[in-house]
Structure 1
Amino acid sequence: MRILLVHGGFGAGGTEKIVALLARHRAALGDKVHVAGLTEPSNGSFFDYPPEVTLHVAKREGGSQSHGGQLLRLRHIRRCLKELRPDIAIAFLTKVNTLTVLAAMGTGVPVVISERNNPAAQPASAFWGPVNRLAMGRASAIVMQTERICRTLPRTLQQRSIVIPNPCIPIGQSLKASAKGEGVHLIAVGRLDRQKGFDLLLHAFERIQSRHRDLKLTIFGEGSERKALEELSVRLGIDDAVQFPGVTTYPGAWIEAGDAMVLSSRYEGFPNVVAEATVVGLPVIAFDCPYGPRELIEDGRNGLLVPAGDVNALAEAMSRLAADPHLRTSMRAAAMLNRIRLSEGAVMRLWDRTIESTLQKQDLRLIDLASAVSQKET
């Protein structure tokens, strides 16, 4: 079988990680796997691909967010589809999903789209909103990451939706244990943009720092709001206790750095960092935002959930966990709550079933079409 996976690029994000895992898995089964990335990596792919997987990288031309840039992306996907003639294409992320469905029109290639965020919450322009909805209606199958996100879809689309969480391989299992007198280290991970709510996290941290003078916070990641967040930490007077080291040097390195993780997102699709933390026993404090944290955290067992956007509640949860080493220890022991459900084998089996069922439906459509043509001719 020939499979084409299409995604935004080859950086350090959660989607890029899932694409690499799926590509490796299907290549191991004997498929010819091709991966089309729509942005050119500056230093190669952050995640490794086996040599038998072929990467097709779009050249860096024009502004990728402009209509001209998106047209170049559309042409790149169309070129890959026509030259490779895959049995199935699987796309990841909203705009990439839309471009892939449009590029596949008239090719006969079934397209599975995978939504990795919260489509009801993420902003969409007057142009992209209707086009995205049109593309979802034309996709052969729609992969979502939680049942709650599926329920936000129109009923006609729910019938073609499939829930597949992200697999999570335990990484960075040498969890840090605070030495006596060393203090507690909180970590946060993600793109430095508004969705991730790091501004809310800084305000929450400022409210409890006077109670925990040895408390530290490190926010891993890069993004458009780095400067604004650094300036906010200075204005709040917490810059001595807050660090912005950028992207980690290798996947999962952040897990080994802290005593607990904080998720301050305004919305999510499926927060990979929460999954990665919980399967190794790193306690998580999270806003109960739509969607994902509630599906991964059992409040009081492997983490603490607080109302979405409630900065005071987030601050108090951070203070509670920082002050209670016994609670942190008990949460470390709860790693198995998610480890089996999110194992790579379990999740890859869901992807295998989705691929098989999509191809079976495609075969039935072709049989029905041939039968209709035959009856018309007679």
Structure 2
Amino acid sequence: MPADHILTYALAMRGGVEAALARMLQGWTRQGRRVTLVLGEESGRFQHGVPSGVEIVTLGHQRYTGLCTTLPAMIDRMRPDIIFCPGNHYTSMAAWARLRLAGACPPIVGKMSNAVDRGDHHPIVAWGQRQWLARHRLFLDSLVAMTPATARAAREATGLSVAVIPNPPSALPAGGPDTILPPGRRILGVGRLEPQKRWDRLITALTHLPEDVGLTILGEGSLRPALTAQIAVLGLEHRVSLPGHVANPSAAMAAAPVLALPSDYEGVPGVLREALAVGTPVVTTDSSPAVHEIVTDPSLGTIVPREDLGALVAGLRHWLNPVAPRPDPVPEPGQDSAERYLALFDSIVTARQRRDALASGDVGFGARAVAVARRLALRPAL
């Protein structure tokens, strides 16, 4: 039986997890599935990516606890065939829905959007994270990871069956006004201005590079004041620009000599795949096992330890050299991701329906006839 009605949820369509979700919604609706999206607020820079065929239910606020407590009642009222949890940030909501609805809860599939072991965690926090992941099998029916390495780590941490399905690819660059990179030797960063991304690390690296090298970071977030202050203290106002979020970062990537990602932790950093898809080399920290699955050859870029500023500077210097060859474009995976997700959903829904039928004794006339025939065959002759 197909999963005809899929319910998923998010606080707002504002980050990488939600951008990938919007692209998946497009594929699911194209396949004729009914999709309900429960949102805290109908906002965020990726809201425009939600297709018109999706039924949107909005709470009117972005309070995590509000969406968490409301979700079970919505699920009970709408009775979807399956629930999709789009990332690690939202798994507590899935756990609460399972606890509240118990056996009446539809199957839940979650996506591992962050690395199992995060680079910013204190050892005690890391231990707690491991304990939480080990309990995911109590409320998730299946888990999806985006690369084989993250799937192996997720399987070990959760004990769940883990499918490997990459995110649907982003749109290729179309040029136009969002290609806002100044000319010359310019490092490009793309991502939210949040602690995880460690843009402060990249700004510091710029002080060790020649004066003609500049930096542009595309994104918005809570650290804009702190990063602006750091730029001023280092006297880099003439070399660093923070234009904010742009709708088409791939166009800027295509124009950049190098893209840098200095994060403490990532799940599967799509920005690396987007840059390589347009033939732009990358310099990235070893923020996730998936990084090595994306930057598979030194011709594509440089992977450096998180806290090694010297290695970061050396990697940037190498790719900023005008004689450094640009890599050939690497096509992004995931063209069939929507179909692969739906096949997984359908198999889980079918298995649940079979279990429910067996548990209720409603196995159908044909199955009952086979069972009677088998019993007669086993009865000793008179």
- TM above 0.5, yes or no, is yes
- Is 1:216 aligned with 2:214? yes
- 1:376 match: none
- Is 1:242 aligned with 2:240? yes
Query: In the aligned structure 2, how far is the partner of 1:93 from the partner of 1:57?
Result: 19
More off after superposition, 279-288 vs 362-371: 362-371
**Contact 2:27/2:339 (8 A) holds in 1:** no
- Is 1:120 aligned with 2:117? yes
Of the candidates 271, 274, 285, which is equivalent to residue 273 of structure 1?
Answer: 271
- Is 1:200 aligned with 2:201? yes
Q: Which residues of structure 1 form unaligned runs of 5+?
A: 374-378
- Residues 19-60 of structure 1 deviation map (CA, whole Å, 9 limit, x = unaligned): 1111111111111111112x3144685332222211112221
Tell me the CA shift for residue 321 of structure 1.
Answer: 0.9
- 1:353 match: 343
- 1:94 match: 88
- Residues 4-28 of structure 1 deviation map (CA, whole Å, 9 limit, x = unaligned): 12223212x2211221111111111
The one-letter code matched in structure 1 to 2:34 is K
**Contact 2:151/2:162 (8 A) holds in 1:** yes
- Go from structure 1 to structure 2 and tell me whether the alpha carbon gap of 1:50 and 1:167 turns closer, same or farther (over 3 Å shift): closer
- Is 1:171 aligned with 2:162? no
3-state SS of 1:231 partner: helix
The one-letter code matched in structure 2 to 1:36 is V
- Is 1:111 aligned with 2:108? yes
3-state SS of 2:200 partner: helix
The one-letter code matched in structure 1 to 2:76 is K
**Contact 1:248/1:254 (8 A) holds in 2:** no
Tell me the CA shift for residue 126 of structure 1.
Answer: 9.9
- The total of aligned residue pairs comes to 353
**Contact 1:101/1:111 (8 A) holds in 2:** no
**Contact 2:68/2:92 (8 A) holds in 1:** no
- Go from structure 1 to structure 2 and tell me whether the alpha carbon gap of 1:287 and 1:44 turns closer, same or farther (over 3 Å shift): closer
- Go from structure 1 to structure 2 and tell me whether the alpha carbon gap of 1:160 and 1:43 turns closer, same or farther (over 3 Å shift): closer
**Contact 2:134/2:158 (8 A) holds in 1:** no
Between the aligned residues of both structures, percent identity stands at: 24
> Following superposition of structure 1 onto structure 2, how do residues 78-89 of structure 1 map, counting pairs within 5 Å?
78-89=72-83
Of the candidates 320, 323, 328, which is equivalent to residue 322 of structure 1?
Answer: 320
- Go from structure 1 to structure 2 and tell me whether the alpha carbon gap of 1:217 and 1:274 turns closer, same or farther (over 3 Å shift): same
Query: In the aligned structure 2, how far is the partner of 1:204 from the partner of 1:364?
Result: 58
Q: Which residues of structure 2 form unaligned runs of 5+?
A: 364-382
**Contact 2:261/2:284 (8 A) holds in 1:** yes
**Contact 1:267/1:291 (8 A) holds in 2:** no
The one-letter code matched in structure 2 to 1:18 is A
- Is 1:134 aligned with 2:135? yes
- 1:25 match: 27
- 2:374 match: none
Which stretches of structure 1, 4 residues or more, deviate above 6 A after TM superposition? 125-129
- Go from structure 1 to structure 2 and tell me whether the alpha carbon gap of 1:299 and 1:203 turns closer, same or farther (over 3 Å shift): farther
The one-letter code matched in structure 2 to 1:81 is I
> Following superposition of structure 1 onto structure 2, how do residues 151-162 of structure 1 map, counting pairs within 5 Å?
151-153=152-154, 155=156, 157-162=158-163
- 1:233 match: 231
**Contact 2:35/2:55 (8 A) holds in 1:** yes
Q: TM-score, normalised by structure 1?
A: 0.83
Tell me the CA shift for residue 253 of structure 1.
Answer: 5.0
- 2:11 match: 8
Tell me the CA shift for residue 301 of structure 1.
Answer: 2.2
**Contact 2:117/2:126 (8 A) holds in 1:** no
Tell me the CA shift for residue 140 of structure 1.
Answer: 0.5
**Contact 1:95/1:132 (8 A) holds in 2:** no
- 2:191 match: 190
3-state SS of 1:117 partner: coil
- 1:344 match: 335
The one-letter code matched in structure 2 to 1:103 is A
- Residues 130-152 of structure 1 deviation map (CA, whole Å, 9 limit, x = unaligned): 56653443200011223323333
- 1:369 match: 359
**Contact 1:3/1:86 (8 A) holds in 2:** yes
The one-letter code matched in structure 2 to 1:76 is T
Query: In the aligned structure 1, how far is the partner of 2:44 from the partner of 2:357?
Result: 46
Of the two, which has the highest radius of gyration? 2
- Go from structure 1 to structure 2 and tell me whether the alpha carbon gap of 1:129 and 1:7 turns closer, same or farther (over 3 Å shift): farther
Q: TM-score, normalised by structure 2?
A: 0.82
